[in-house]
């Protein structure tokens, strides 16, 4: 059974589901990555830190085979990274070490809640829900941003290698779909219950519906249910954003 969302499923941000999702997603992403030129290899690594309980987060490195030089860091943001000081510091420390090694940096942010991990000006850019941000070692202050929203499939993006080699194209949606099916999340997720980090979006959409219908009494449950359907992309919501 497929997800109710065309791309990333925001219900996976729940604490009971995310650790399994991230661990499996990294494994599926590794399987979905194209073959590298013979001078490179992939390696899956893990960072660990404590926020009330132990957290383990996998990420992927692209290494030069002959000397294990880090060429590219491919990392996935977690809810804890965006909502806790310890999680944020652990994530940024991994990134700092990669930058010190003059590596390319790739961030996959599939989290709605919390504060962005990267600080850059967004004036003039369209709004988005999810993003892949690529920073090349040759231009460390420039960001390449691949975006999607709740009603769109996740983007393909270009994974850089050494500046003398061609990028490889990564199909992020294919990795997500494989992970979702492998973990049988369609059966694990209770879509009748909206997790806390989605309440604000649903309430805003329900309020718009209430206004559009002339502010009637006794329609709050109906408006909430319709707002949930809109969130899942089953109809068009007033606050849709295109990127």
Give pLDDT tens digits for 150-174: 878 999 999 999 999 999 999 999 9
Alpha-carbon distance 181 to 185, whole Å? 7
Please compute the mean of the pLDDT values over residues 184-204 and round it to a whole number: 75
Q: Which helix (H) or strand (E) holds 136?
A: strand 130-136
pLDDT of residue 219: 64
pLDDT over threshold 80, residue 201: no
Q: What percent of the chain has pLDDT over 90?
A: 67
Q: What is the mean pLDDT of the chain?
A: 86
CA angle 31, 33, 34 (to 5 degrees): 120
CA angle 223, 83, 23 (to 5 degrees): 95
Alpha-carbon distance 88 to 23, whole Å? 18
pLDDT over threshold 70, residue 218: no
pLDDT of residue 37: 94
Confidence of residue 242 (pLDDT cuts 50, 70, 90): very low
Per the structure block, which two tokens stand in for 228?
């949930």
Burial label for 35, CB within 10 Å (0-12, 13-18, 19+), is: exposed
> What residues does each domain of the chain span?
10-188, 196-231
Contact 106, 133 (CB under 8 A): yes
């Amino acid at each position: 059974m497929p997800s109710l969302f065309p791309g990333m499923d925001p219900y996976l941000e729940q604490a009971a589901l995310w650790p399994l999702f991230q661990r499996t997603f990294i494994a599926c992403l590794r399987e979905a990555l194209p073959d590298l030129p013979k001078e490179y290899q992939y390696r899956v690594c893990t960072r660990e830190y404590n926020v009330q309980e132990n957290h383990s987060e996998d990420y992927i490195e692209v290494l030069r085979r002959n000397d294990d030089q880090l060429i590219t860091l491919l990392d996935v943001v977690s809810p804890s990274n965006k909502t806790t000081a310890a999680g944020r510091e652990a994530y940024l420390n991994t990134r700092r070490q990669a930058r010190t090694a003059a590596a390319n940096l790739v961030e996959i942010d599939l989290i709605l809640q919390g504060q962005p991990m990267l600080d850059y000006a967004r004036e003039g850019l369209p709004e988005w829900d999810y993003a892949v941000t690529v920073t090349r070692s040759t231009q460390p202050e420039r960001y390449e941003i691949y975006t999607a929203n709740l009603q769109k499939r996740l983007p393909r993006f270009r994974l850089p290698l050494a500046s003398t080699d061609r990028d490889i194209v990564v199909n992020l949606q294919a990795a997500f779909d494989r992970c979702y099916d492998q973990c049988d999340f369609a059966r694990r997720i209770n879509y009748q219950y909206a997790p806390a980090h989605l309440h604000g979006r649903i309430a805003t959409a329900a309020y718009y519906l209430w206004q559009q219908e002339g502010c009637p009494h006794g329609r709050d449950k109906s408006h909430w249910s319709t707002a949930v359907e809109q969130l899942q992309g089953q109809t068009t919501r007033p606050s849709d954003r295109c990127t």
